[in-house]
Amino acid sequence: MTPSPGRRFREAFERAASTSSIGGSAVLRDLAEMARACTTGKNNAIDAVAFAMSTILEQHANDLEDRPVTGDDTYALMSAGYDDLADGAKFLEKGGTAELAVEIVTALARLEPASLYRH
């Protein structure tokens, strides 16, 4: 049986987060595309989290392409956002309530690069 898009995203996120590769723009862009693939129109809560995840990850990928990437950037993203990103990844795989989706989307919105890196 083929794993769901949510499971594929969660596994890819966990692999990337366990190494320094999570800080690369190509990895973030790949994760954004995988999150986008979780938007199916079948579950509004999952679609909302998938959209938020893909948007935030894409913003970080774009931000990192415009300037030199440092270990501090990767640390800032993971220290401020790992739990929220991991919660989003789990939600994309398993689903949950609309209220939980709102909490995750709200938390992800705080991870915009301009807010996180103060530039």
Q: Domain span at residue 9?
A: 5-117
Residues sharing a CB contact under 8 Å with residue 63, sequence separation 6 or more, in sequence order: 113, 117
Tell me: pLDDT of 119 over 70: no
The pTM for the full model equals 0.90
Domains of the chain: total:
1
H helical segments located in 37-97: 44-65, 71-94
Kindly give, in sequence order, each residue whose CB lies less than 8 Å from that of residue 34, ignoring residues fewer than 6 positions away: 5, 8, 9, 12
pLDDT digits (tens, 9 = 90+) for 28-79: 999 999 999 999 999 999 999 999 999 999 998 998 786 666 777 777 788 8
